[in-house]
Chains A and B, each alone.
Chain A
């Protein structure tokens, strides 16, 4: 019987929730992009990394407030997204969607390689702003304020994105564009612009996650590479059809990932998402929230 470590349980679950928040934002961004463009954005991890570097630069190098980083980081990454879409991706829409994956894979290699060149593989870190540092004693656990902030901010941005897509006029256009771009174009909507902005928006979400993560993890050029593969597994488990599905799956898997540690098998923590993916594929190939074709 392995030792079940109940003392560490709340702390671990909090950590799982933080990771789950990142999975949620990243898989949400992937789902939004995939919905309209039919492209699986392999560069998502690299863009997340760039968001984190932007935050580190703004906070640590230039000593500008964290709150500015939260705004500038996503905008910067979104702008990079505009460039990627306009210069490269738009040439591929008529081709097999696999080419989009390969293209963004190449872009990810380039971005990651450039950062490796300038910053090496060692990590940078800085402390969260004063308003968010410290911890709150909840009685049953000590909650680091920044972690609570990460979870709240992520939930906020996820729900905001969900609201925008499912409940507003703009979102309705977006959903219509996903179903039938030619028809939406015929109604006088500038679909190419919509596509560009959607890609940029998805990228900005990755940048936002990067900024949030920069004060809880080491900022290094490879931080996005390994994360994105887990997020791919999350996306396969959830299915990319549903916005809410992406959010729920992301959070849930972040939590589940910590279970092996609680049960005393920390080595299994790295692979638990992949194992769940394999099981889901056996039982429900379209994913938990996906539609069977």
Chain B
């Protein structure tokens, strides 16, 4: 096993080093740091989601609840409780973990298509909760949130400082997910994805593995959402809507389902596309995103990274 897929170890490592080098210099070569920071938050979200769909084979259609829910908690902790950003982020992640444990415990009672419907329904329930709860600001959301000082020392108001803070967290999440996927625990998850009855017959307590995967995935999705609050100064209902759950699926699918790099790549593509389209296509954006969804399912199921890997494999076979 390696970072990108089988048989491409060196190419994969080089690709990651190039990507990291680019992210390190991006703000100095004219790329708007807030845009990249925002995309990195979604990349964390998509990697968290892929941990569940790509590596465990569970399609959650409700991950926005954890992403947006953690965003609300973090925003509230920053604005009302005046906590430092790292504590507010931890609070958001803890909230997402608890929500993930509850939703996960209910959802893993069904498999496949039902699992997707159950997670969608439960996330819709959380949506109504956030709509009506007093601490979320209802339809208006929470706006104008101060970033505060990291550890009470380093002010994050400077966009460049913030950017490197977000990048550091992204790299941390990246390494963590890499560790999870390649650990014995990650191998069991893959076994469950490939053949659940067999994993059961081998004596694995499949439900416990699935629940832990769900909680981990929800927590990391929450980290992405919480971090986005710090970057964008706001938490809104849009982050907990089912459309957002659909979007993270699109990111994962477009980048390459079950590939390690795919979701992050897909997140950059989708966020970039949305930024590009919002000025030019306005309200047609949803239609275009939907059309890409359809095309992707019908004709581009491997996604960018998946196609790249398949191409490399073909070339390796020829050589």
Contact = CB atoms under 8 A, between A and B. Distances in A.
Interface of A: 34, 40, 88, 91-92, 95, 97-99, 101-103, 105-114, 116-117, 225-226, 229-230, 232-233, 235-236, 267, 270-271, 273-275, 277-278, 281-282, 285
Given A107-B294, A110-B291, A236 B114 contact: yes
Report whether over half of chain A's contact residues are helix, strand or loop; otherwise say mixed. helix
A281 B110 contact: yes
B167 interface: no
A122 B161 CA distance: 43
Contacts of B284: 113, 117
B297 A106 contact: yes
B286 A91 contact: no
Given A229-B124, A271-B129, A108 B290 contact: yes
A220 B59 CA distance: 29
Interface residues of B, number: 40
Contacts of A278: 106, 122
A116 B283 contact: yes
Interface in B48-62: 59, 61
Report whether over half of chain B's contact residues are helix, strand or loop; otherwise say mixed. helix
B269 interface: no
A113 B113 contact: no
A233 B119 CA distance: 10
Contacts of A267: 132
B234 interface: no
A258 B30 CA distance: 57
Of B106, B132, B294, most A-chain CB atoms within 10 Å: B294
Contact of A285 (B110, B253, B293): B110
Interface in B191-235: none
B193 to A, nearest CB: 11
Nearest to B131: A270
Contacts of B118: 236, 277, 281
Nearest to A98: B59
B103 to A, nearest CB: 9
Contacts of B59: 98, 101
Contacts of B301: 95, 99
A236 B298 contact: no
B121 interface: yes
Given A274-B122, A278-B122, A98 B294 contact: no
B297 A102 contact: yes
29 contacts: A34-B113, A88-B294, A98-B116, A101-B113, A103-B293, A103-B297, A103-B298, A105-B293, A106-B297, A109-B290, A110-B290, A112-B290, A113-B284, A113-B285, A226-B124, A229-B124, A229-B242, A232-B117, A232-B120, A233-B117, A236-B117, A270-B128, A277-B121, A278-B106, A278-B122, A281-B107, A281-B109, A281-B110, A281-B118
B200 to A, nearest CB: 13
B63 to A, nearest CB: 14
A106 B294 contact: yes
Nearest to B118: A236
B319 interface: no
A117 B293 contact: no
B137 interface: no
B29 interface: no
A232 B290 contact: no
B31 interface: no
Given A106-B293, A110-B290, A233-B117, A117 B283 contact: yes
Interface in B276-319: 283-287, 289-294, 296-298, 301
A293 to B, nearest CB: 9
B298 A91 contact: yes
Interface string B91-114: 000000000000000110110111
Interface in B239-290: 242-243, 246, 249, 253, 283-287, 289-290
B290 A113 contact: yes
B154 interface: no
Contacts of A229: 120-121, 124, 242
Contacts of A235: 117
A102 B293 CA distance: 8
A101 B294 CA distance: 11
Contacts of A40: 113, 116-117
A40 to B, nearest CB: 5
Nearest to A269: B128
B121 A103 contact: no
A274 B121 CA distance: 6
B287 A117 contact: yes
Nearest to B243: A109
